[in-house]
Structure 1
């Protein structure tokens, strides 16, 4: 099976790609010629997708190492032509890199949650740190109602479970 077809038939990978490049990008991947290298103009002409959308998709894929190019120069005109090919075989590395970023953000968030004490307005549902609540005399700055303590134990537990799950998937456990 073609690597692009394999990725697009996998619901999780398709969702990941869709998040990156949207509907038009998926359309380009589905219509991308299986063999060889192609200029963005050729791809736009052969797929019927707007040239700017083709370029945006290719650059987004390039940033994730899912496409690559080489350029050739026309010695008569000095124009550069970029010839593109897909590297969907790098999708697992791309997903892994993104998961590492998310893992770092989750670890930072759980640290923030564990190091702070929180207060909530029962009416507005806004949440404040201890220092924010103390600065407002433990009254909601929006409605002036007294703030109550907010127990974030369930949130911390859920964050820790997600972190451990991601670490297992990434081989950090």
Structure 2
């Protein structure tokens, strides 16, 4: 299993989720029931299902539902769907990048004031409405330099964008060589 995929799956559901994903990958695209998977892992059925649903939320597994002719029970057959995981990772990163960009714009466009006790922090226009007094402790609100926060947001955004490039192989020299040969 790809190291990046393994880290992503660990982030989703921890060690049991990674073990579950490895088991699905070893099947090579063959389907398996949730009960068979739980038995193979030596786990209870409920945690196995819970983690399968976590993977399903990220489109990392697919399932097929059928009714058992003998018992009438509904059976779920799962298989891996790891092919598009890089796109899922990039999409999640882009969502986070967009949130950080909105926050960055807000931080850059405003001057902030905060009380010394740390009760509240607000932009200048809100602080003027309450005469620069903390609504919680009535202390005077002082100007707060947010340049470190702005710089930290810029670094996060830059790092996440680089991560996306690495995931997609944009700056991968071997990929560039392959394109130039064709």
Q: TM-score, normalised by structure 2?
A: 0.76
Of residues 25-34 and 102-111 in structure 1, the stretch that sits farther from structure 2 once superposed is 25-34
1:24 is aligned, of 2, 16, 35, to 16
Contact 1:28–1:49, Cα closer than 8 Å, also in 2 = no
Unaligned runs of 5+ in 2: 171-182
How big is the alpha-carbon RMSD for the aligned residues of Structure 1 and Structure 2? Answer: 2.5
Matched, 1:43 2:37: yes
Unaligned runs of 5+ in 1: 1-5
Of residues 65-74 and 162-171 in structure 1, the stretch that sits farther from structure 2 once superposed is 162-171
Question: In the aligned structure 1, how far is the partner of 2:97 from the partner of 2:50?
Answer: 27
SS at structure 2 position matched to 1:83 = strand
Alignment: residue pair count: 164
Question: In the aligned structure 1, how far is the partner of 2:152 from the partner of 2:25?
Answer: 44
Contact 2:119–2:134, Cα closer than 8 Å, also in 1 = no
1:128-143 → structure 2 map (5 Å cutoff): 128-143=122-137
CA displacement at 1:83 relative to structure 2: 0.8
What is the aligned partner in structure 1 of residue 74 from structure 2?
A: 80
Deviation sequence 1:28-78 (CA, Å, 0-9, x none): 334447112111111112212121211111111112121111223334554
Moved over 6 A (4+): none
CA displacement at 1:100 relative to structure 2: 1.1
1:123 is aligned, of 104, 117, 120, to 117
SS at structure 2 position matched to 1:140 = coil
Contact 1:32–1:47, Cα closer than 8 Å, also in 2 = no
Question: In the aligned structure 2, how far is the partner of 1:134 from the partner of 1:18?
Answer: 47
